[in-house]
């Protein structure tokens, strides 16, 4: 709700990436309770360092906590901190998701390339690269990563990524999961064992974290529905 020159935000959000280190967050908030469905939403920028916000890290199977649950209890932000227009938050949010799933992955792919290089390095150290099946899989991973890059670059020509972003999300999320699985093959049978104190190495964390790739940022099922309805003209499931 609006209180003078500020928006007052109350609510809850699960799976907020890096909320524990963020200074600001995007909040898609209902600013007009009388408007129908998404027509009454606004896209707000909210400062995280204030008494009205509580952050609870969610410990994952990797032992890390990149995701968090955030509680807003009367959190405040200036009425000037609206991206776009008041009541137009749904359109802005969809554009944000489009960039997250598509062009924004150009930066993410730098990390992907480093991870692939590490997997190849371990494959050489352990002799797994001498296995023609493993060598073929590593080669295909390198080729596919180049395809991901060119796909993201093509989307730079689009002011507002649409269905192309969903295609990109399907491609990179599945690629990253395959890399995690390949990392376990390269590491060998002891990849299923944690260290003496339960610690995990880099490749084990890679494998476990990539299980989430097909869920966050819009699940694979959502992306396929977008492609089916908006590109292929199929009826909604």
Question: What CATH number does the domain located at 93-231 have?
Answer: 1.20.140.10
Topology annotation, domain 2-87: Butyryl-CoA Dehydrogenase, subunit A; domain 2 (2.40.110)
Region 177-193: mean pLDDT is 94
Question: What pLDDT does residue 159 have?
Answer: 56
Six-digit token pair at 133?
A: 């099946």
Question: What pLDDT does residue 183 have?
Answer: 97
Q: What is the pLDDT of residues 46-97, one digit of tens each?
A: 999 999 999 999 988 778 888 899 999 999 999 999 999 999 999 998 888 7
Q: Which part of the chain has CATH 1.20.140.10? A: 93-231
Region 111-139: mean pLDDT is 96
Region 19-38: mean pLDDT is 91
Confidence (pTM): 0.75
180, 201 Cβ separation under 8 angstroms: no
Lowest mean pLDDT among 124-128, 188-192, 197-201: 197-201
Maximum separation of any 2 CA atoms in the chain, in Å = 69
Q: Which part of the chain has CATH 2.40.110.10? A: 2-87
Residue 7: strand pairing partners: 2, 77
Question: What pLDDT does residue 153 have?
Answer: 82
Question: What pLDDT does residue 161 have?
Answer: 60
More confident: 36 or 75: 75
Share of the chain above pLDDT 70, in %: 94
Question: What pLDDT does residue 95 have?
Answer: 80
Q: What is the pLDDT of residues 144-164, one digit of tens each?
A: 999 998 888 887 776 556 788
Query: DSSP character for 188?
Result: -
Query: DSSP character for 23?
Result: S
* Residues noted as catalytic: 100
């Amino acid at each position: 709700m609006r209180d003078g020159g500020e928006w007052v935000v109350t609510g809850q959000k699960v799976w907020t990436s890096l909320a524990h280190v963020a200074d600001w967050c995007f909040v898609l908030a209902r600013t007009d309770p009388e408007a129908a469905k998404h027509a009454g939403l606004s896209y707000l920028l909210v400062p995280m360092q204030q008494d009205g916000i509580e952050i609870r890290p969610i410990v994952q199977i990797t032992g890390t906590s990149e995701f968090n649950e955030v509680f807003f209890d009367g959190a405040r932000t200036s009425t000037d901190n609206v991206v776009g227009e008041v009541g137009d938050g749904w359109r802005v949010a969809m554009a944000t998701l489009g960039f997250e799933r598509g062009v924004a992955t150009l930066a993410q792919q730098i990390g992907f390339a480093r991870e692939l290089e590490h997997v190849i390095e371990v494959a050489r150290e352990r002799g797994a690269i001498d296995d023609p099946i493993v060598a073929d899989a590593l080669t295909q991973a390198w080729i596919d990563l180049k395809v991901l890059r060119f796909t993201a670059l093509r989307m730079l020509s689009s002011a507002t990524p649409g269905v192309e972003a969903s295609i990109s999300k399907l491609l990179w999320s599945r690629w990253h999961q395959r890399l995690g699985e390949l990392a376990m093959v390269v590491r060998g049978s002891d990849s299923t064992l944690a260290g003496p104190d339960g610690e995990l190495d880099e490749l084990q964390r890679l494998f476990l974290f990539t299980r989430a790739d097909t869920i966050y940022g819009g699940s694979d099922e959502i992306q396929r529905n977008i492609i089916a309805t908006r590109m292929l003209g199929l009826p909604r499931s």
